[in-house]
Chains A and B, each alone.
Chain A
């Protein structure tokens, strides 16, 4: 009976310690949790992005959740688009060797002389960022990369954030789920 009582006593001590630990842990981290803007999505900061192309290869999804987006409001509607054509193309036609996008995700529509409207097919875009690099080098930067929140699994740790050379991928609040240029 004596041994039993000792074990019971130890167990009660353990329960008190365990309960205390839970309460302290909860108290301490709750203070951190109550800070503002605690719900987060991963998103790319287009001003930091260097279009290195790792978004295409390092996302855990078979097809990256990163897609090129196009801000029409700052687009120049150029005929010779740095994101649409490769540099130094001889002829401005839609032959594959002239086009920048490796998957043919960018299409354009003639608006009026000399303007073209560009749009991106999200299903084809693989997030390689070649068009964004071209547009930012030679154009207004209307094409840039963003993480599509409907595709992103919101991993606890974003793989592309860990390999991003410019540290451009950070958590953002729900209200700012996209870092759109305009």
Chain B
């Protein structure tokens, strides 16, 4: 209660002591506060982003060379990573855009919007050139990747669902203005800033050690922005071509690919008759909505637990506990709450609105989770004949490791 009193005093008497009358001709010193020219650096950031992405696109689509990707990676890690300290990044911008679309009070800076949308536009035209080496996270993993141990298909498929789940929760907590979890659990920003929370830095280091032995664990199994880009990359207008000449099915590129994006030839020997095929499609059509409803229901029921991440909800829990059993020593939140003269009723209506938002968005995102899981399962049971080694546009990050392995390219270069 002591603090409450003294907060009131601040408001009432800010001038307990009058301004002194100096007789010795004292001059008040001027105090200057530095304001950085943030606009200038954001222009540079956008320019760098476009320039580097165009450079990578030119290299991997027109020229089939890898050195520009390595060069871009070094520039990106140095500039976006260590110099600009990785904030705001395109991955985190997902949350700003989600919040801007959901909330009227939030104004998204144009710069953040461009950070979000430019890589997507480039992906639709050229595939995931952003991931290749422009994203400092991808670049860092690309630079340390030496060995290329393949993970089994089961492991890859199960882990590949995680980015979508992560994306769903990131959007859920962003649209309810609760937390930006992508920023909160960012494993590499601590490395770029040379300081931060120890568990997160350790997580980043572990990821880097893993990426020495297998390609880009963060990009493949964690990155929510990569998940979005993979959708656009799937249908991109032009994409990485390993060689301009014909494929000779030598398998070398398949072994070289760090992200398992090159699909081996496959002959679908099971020729199902027409009615069996129609039945299968029908089963999928029933299965898909069922999964979505199941996901939506589960998430809807859990939404109350998720809402506890929100600060106002936490405050309300503390306040209502205090209303029932007044505590001897009040926490800082309670002191501030009573000190600001807010009423419990006001908070209650606010929290009710927040919880309602949580229920609606949890339901939508749950349906989305169901869709993702169902589509993953369906894609596992769909077989497609391939005569040659083919790049899967969704998974290819355009790192360009395959180019030098292709014997057709070797012949061309002599």
Q: With contacts defined as CB atoms under 8 Å apart, how many contacts are there between chain A and chain B in the complex?
A: 174
On chain A, the residues within 8 Å of B179 by CB distance are 157, 162
A74: interface (CB < 8 Å): yes
Q: How many angstroms from the CA of A57 to the CA of B332 in the assembled complex? A: 14
Which of the residues A14, A41, A74, A166 comes within 8 Å of B14, measured between beta carbons? A74
Q: How many angstroms from the CA of A112 to the CA of B93 in the assembled complex? A: 55
**Closest A residue to B93 using CB positions:** A156
Q: How many angstroms from the CA of A87 to the CA of B398 in the assembled complex? A: 64
Asked whether B110 lies within 8 Å of A33 as measured between CB atoms, the reply is: yes
Asked whether B33 lies within 8 Å of A177 as measured between CB atoms, the reply is: yes
On chain B, the residues within 8 Å of A137 by CB distance are 6, 9
Asked whether B22 lies within 8 Å of A73 as measured between CB atoms, the reply is: no
Minimum distance in angstroms from B123 CB to a CB of chain A: 9
Asked whether B332 lies within 8 Å of A14 as measured between CB atoms, the reply is: no
A141: interface (CB < 8 Å): yes
Minimum distance in angstroms from A150 CB to a CB of chain B: 4
**Closest A residue to B29 using CB positions:** A72
Asked whether B340 lies within 8 Å of A139 as measured between CB atoms, the reply is: no
Which of the residues A50, A76, A146 comes within 8 Å of B18, measured between beta carbons? A76
Q: How many angstroms from the CA of A11 to the CA of B234 in the assembled complex? A: 8
What are the interface flags for B1-35 relative to A under an 8 Å C-beta threshold, 1 for contact and 0 otherwise? 00100110111001111111011101011010111
Asked whether B97 lies within 8 Å of A29 as measured between CB atoms, the reply is: yes
Q: How many angstroms from the CA of A166 to the CA of B184 in the assembled complex? A: 21
B95: interface (CB < 8 Å): yes
**Closest B residue to A63 using CB positions:** B195
Asked whether A140 lies within 8 Å of B17 as measured between CB atoms, the reply is: yes
Asked whether A156 lies within 8 Å of B96 as measured between CB atoms, the reply is: yes
Minimum distance in angstroms from A96 CB to a CB of chain B: 25
* Interface size range on A against B: 35 or more
B326: interface (CB < 8 Å): no
Asked whether B232 lies within 8 Å of A18 as measured between CB atoms, the reply is: yes
Asked whether A32 lies within 8 Å of B36 as measured between CB atoms, the reply is: no
B344: interface (CB < 8 Å): no
B321: interface (CB < 8 Å): no
- Please provide the chain A residues from 141 to 157 with a CB less than 8 Å away from any CB of chain B in the complex: 141, 146, 148-150, 153-157
Q: How many angstroms from the CA of A118 to the CA of B158 in the assembled complex? A: 62
Q: How many angstroms from the CA of A165 to the CA of B93 in the assembled complex? A: 26
Minimum distance in angstroms from A138 CB to a CB of chain B: 8
On chain B, the residues within 8 Å of A33 by CB distance are 100, 107-110, 113
Q: A33-B108, A111-B22, A177-B33 are in contact. Are A14 and B234 (CB under 8 A)?
A: yes
On chain A, the residues within 8 Å of B196 by CB distance are 60
On chain B, the residues within 8 Å of A117 by CB distance are 26, 29
- Please provide the chain A residues from 26 to 68 with a CB less than 8 Å away from any CB of chain B in the complex: 26, 28-30, 32-41, 47-48, 50, 52, 54, 60-62
Asked whether B26 lies within 8 Å of A112 as measured between CB atoms, the reply is: yes
Minimum distance in angstroms from B55 CB to a CB of chain A: 22
A95: interface (CB < 8 Å): no
What are the interface flags for A60-103 relative to B under an 8 Å C-beta threshold, 1 for contact and 0 otherwise? 11100000011111101110000000000000000000000000
Asked whether A136 lies within 8 Å of B35 as measured between CB atoms, the reply is: no
A124: interface (CB < 8 Å): no
What are the interface flags for B233-250 relative to A under an 8 Å C-beta threshold, 1 for contact and 0 otherwise? 011010000000000000
Asked whether A156 lies within 8 Å of B95 as measured between CB atoms, the reply is: yes
On chain A, the residues within 8 Å of B28 by CB distance are 72-73
Q: A18-B124, A29-B97 are in contact. Are A157 and B232 (CB under 8 A)?
A: no
Asked whether A165 lies within 8 Å of B335 as measured between CB atoms, the reply is: yes
A19: interface (CB < 8 Å): yes
Asked whether B339 lies within 8 Å of A50 as measured between CB atoms, the reply is: yes
Minimum distance in angstroms from B337 CB to a CB of chain A: 8
B39: interface (CB < 8 Å): yes
Task: Give me the interface of A with B, judged by CB distance under 8 Å.
Answer: 3, 11, 14-15, 17-19, 22, 25-26, 28-30, 32-41, 47-48, 50, 52, 54, 60-62, 69-74, 76-78, 111-112, 115, 117, 119, 136-141, 146, 148-150, 153-157, 162, 165-167, 174, 177-178, 180
The 29 sampled A-B contact pairs (Cβ below 8 Å) are A14-B234, A14-B235, A18-B231, A26-B117, A29-B97, A29-B108, A35-B107, A38-B108, A38-B109, A40-B109, A41-B38, A60-B193, A61-B193, A73-B28, A111-B26, A112-B26, A136-B10, A140-B14, A140-B17, A141-B14, A150-B36, A155-B183, A156-B87, A156-B93, A156-B180, A157-B183, A165-B337, A166-B336, A166-B339
